[in-house]
């Protein structure tokens, strides 16, 4: 941690590299939850969110990505990085690989059950994707899974690196190197550390660090409830083949479901702590354990010398890539209604300068406009000359007039067809969403049927936008 760079400014040709390096800037924020988010505040419990999402890569996995690549990339030889990852780890790897090593060929092996939003996000960051069927969280040793496939690919050529976050100990050692020291320096009175368990790298690294640096800290791991799914963490059963020493790095493990994870994440976001579902997952695990301690009278055993219980849980990423899932998991009543929601299905075109046409340009596009000299001669030779005599619609054009019949009969363009729209007493459809919806629906029906009829007759249907 660079205490000297308190202004958080990075300059020079390696500015982005410095920006990513935890040793070049201030520590990531540690924010205490307000009382409205902490049901144990009156019990002397202080709960802090460690915002790993505030790293430039916006997720907790950037620390392992940096350490894995630092220990794995061979300068001048490594040209490709391949990793099995659902998103955060390999996205971080792609950013670190470019910023630190100039490697742009980063490939993600991942489950075909990955959401479309995540697939688009990964492609946005330039990742080459290969999908695999079967379990979304395969065992590292499964010969049919993507983890082994990534490992096998790296064995085909010396310039391909598979960091293998599932078995490479530099995964959890990155949190011994950076995350743990940051937290202890920020909050020397810490008494509880809490982290979710996917590869188990975070809790293993934090657990090992605090065991050595401050043994009194209680180490709480959180896994997904059996049969449920939260992006990132795994169920206890799926941790069985993980080789990291996570058992000796944890003092207790809680099981948490997806509903509570998304719900608490939403609550935190609305209070200004922007975080994804795995952050709510970690907080719920902490709540569950605190409740058990309170119920059996052992809560005070978690207190430090100052009498307070100071808990830190990991906020791992941001909510934006999971927005659709929040609406799927949580009740509709959790979200404010949209007024005039009927307008989401109508009037979807932009109104800009492209909609406005100069009248003379329009006349030339849709009518056979006489030469100015012929026009003057016609006017001089005929007193009763009408607009119908001057303007003749082109053969491939149909002009549709949407005004009311009375307006149409008082004046109309030559060759136009009157298809009146039934308007209410309001002067404009923009004055009332219900009117707009009605008018727009009628327009779609009219132009749909007219377009078909006109095309059958060999005509080109021109919609008079803005006329």
Q: Is the pLDDT of residue 380 over 60?
A: no
The span from the CA of 401 to the CA of 410, in Å, is 13
Is the CB of residue 425 less than 8 Å from the CB of residue 435? no
Q: Give the closest residue to 226 by CA, choosing from 254, 200, 192.
A: 254
pLDDT at 367 (0 to 100): 83
For the chain, give every residue range classified as CATH 3.40.50.1100: 27-53+171-334, 62-161
Which band of pLDDT confidence, cut at 50, 70 and 90, is reported for residue 462? Answer: very low
For domain 27-53+171-334, give its CATH number from 3.20.20.110, 3.40.50.1100, 3.65.10.10, 1.10.10.10: 3.40.50.1100
Are the CB atoms for 244 and 171 separated by under 8 Å? yes
Question: What is the token pair recorded at 271?
Answer: 């209070």
Residues 94-135 have pLDDT tens digits of 999 999 999 999 999 999 998 898 999 999 999 999 999 988
Q: CATH code for 62-161? A: 3.40.50.1100
CA dihedral 40, 41, 44, 47 (to 10 degrees): 80
Q: What is the C-alpha separation between 435 and 439, in angstroms, rounded?
A: 6
pLDDT of 70-92, one tens digit each? 999 999 999 999 999 878 999 99
**Cβ neighbour number for residue 164 with a 10 Å cutoff:** 21
At residue 134, the pLDDT reads 84
Q: CA-to-CA distance for 54 and 50, rounded, in angstroms?
A: 9
pLDDT at 439: 84
Three-state DSSP state, 383: coil
| Rounded CA separation 254/252 (Å) | 7
CA distance linking residue 192 with residue 190, whole number of Å? 6
pLDDT above 90 (res 333):
yes
* DSSP run (H or E) holding 146: helix 146-154
Each residue's pLDDT tens digit, 52-68: 999 999 999 999 999 99
Binned at pLDDT 50, 70 and 90, residue 200 comes out as very high
Is residue 51 a contact partner of residue 81, using CB atoms and an 8 Å limit? no
DSSP 389-455: HH-EE-TTEEEEE-S-HHHHHH---TTEEE------SSS-GGG-HHHHHHHHHHHHHHHHHHHHHHH
> What pLDDT score does 360 carry?
75
- Say which residues have a Cβ less than 8 Å from residue 394's Cβ, sequence separation at least 6: 366, 367, 368
| Burial grade of 427 (CB within 10 A; 0-12, 13-18, 19 or more) | exposed
Residue from 453, 436, 454, 446 nearest 401 by CA: 446
* pLDDT, tens digit (0-9, with 9 covering 90-100), for 251-298: 999 999 999 999 999 999 999 999 999 999 999 999 999 999 999 999
CA atoms in the 13 A half-sphere facing the CB of 241: 10
pLDDT surpasses 80 at 2: no
The pTM score is: 0.86
**Rounded CA separation 255/235 (Å):** 8
CA dist 328 and 33 (Å) reads 26
Burial degree of 391 (CB within 10 A; 0-12, 13-18, 19+): middle
């Amino acid at each position: 941690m660079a205490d000297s760079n308190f202004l958080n400014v990075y300059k020079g040709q390696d500015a982005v590299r410095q920006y990513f390096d935890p040793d070049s800037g201030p520590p990531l924020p540690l924010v205490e939850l307000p009382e409205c988010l902490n049901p144990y505040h009156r019990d002397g419990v202080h709960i802090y969110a460690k915002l790993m999402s505030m790293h430039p890569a916006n997720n907790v996995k950037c620390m392992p990505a940096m350490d894995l690549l630092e220990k794995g990339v061979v300068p001048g030889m490594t040209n490709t990085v391949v990793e099995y990852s659902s998103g955060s780890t390999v996205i971080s790897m792609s950013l670190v690989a470019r910023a630190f090593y100039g490697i742009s060929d980063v490939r993600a092996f991942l489950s075909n059950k990955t959401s479309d939003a995540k697939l688009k996000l990964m492609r946005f960051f330039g990742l080459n994707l290969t999908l695999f069927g079967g379990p979304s969280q395969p065992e590292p040793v499964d010969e049919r899974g993507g983890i082994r496939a990534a490992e096998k690919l790296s064995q085909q050529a010396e310039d391909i690196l598979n960091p293998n976050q599932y078995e490479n100990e530099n995964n959890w050692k990155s949190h011994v190197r950076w995350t743990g020291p940051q937290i202890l320096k920020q909050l020397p009175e810490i008494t509880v550390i809490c982290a979710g368990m996917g590869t188990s790298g975070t809790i293993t690294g934090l657990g090992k660090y605090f065991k050595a640096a401050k043994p009194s800290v209680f180490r709480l791991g959180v896994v997904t409830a059996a049969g449920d799914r939260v992006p990132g963490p795994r169920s206890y059963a799926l941790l069985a083949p993980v080789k990291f020493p996570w058992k000796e790095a944890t003092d207790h493990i809680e099981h948490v479901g997806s509903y509570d994870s998304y719900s608490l994440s939403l609550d935190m976001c609305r209070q200004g702590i922007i975080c994804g579902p795995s952050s709510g997952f970690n907080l719920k695990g902490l709540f569950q354990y605190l409740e058990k301690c309170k119920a059996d009278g052992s809560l005070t055993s978690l207190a430090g010398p100052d009498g307070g219980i100071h808990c830190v849980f990991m906020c791992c990423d941001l909510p934006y890539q999971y927005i659709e899932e929040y609406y799927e998991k949580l009740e509709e009543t959790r979200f404010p209604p949209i007024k005039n929601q009927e307008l989401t299905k109508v009037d979807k075109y932009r109104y800009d300068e492209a909609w406005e046409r100069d009248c003379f340009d329009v006349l030339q596009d849709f009518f056979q406009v006489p030469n100015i000299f012929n026009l003057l001669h016609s006017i001089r030779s005929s007193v009763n000359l009408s607009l119908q005599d001057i303007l003749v619609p082109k053969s491939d054009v149909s002009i549709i007039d949407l005004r009311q019949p009375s307006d149409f009969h008082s004046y109309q363009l030559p060759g136009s067809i009157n298809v009146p729209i039934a308007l209410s007493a309001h002067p404009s459809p923009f004055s009332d969403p219900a009117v707009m919806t009605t008018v727009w629906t009628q327009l779609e029906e009219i132009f749909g049927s007219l377009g078909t009829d006109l095309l059958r007759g060999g005509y080109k249907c021109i919609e008079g936008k803005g006329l």
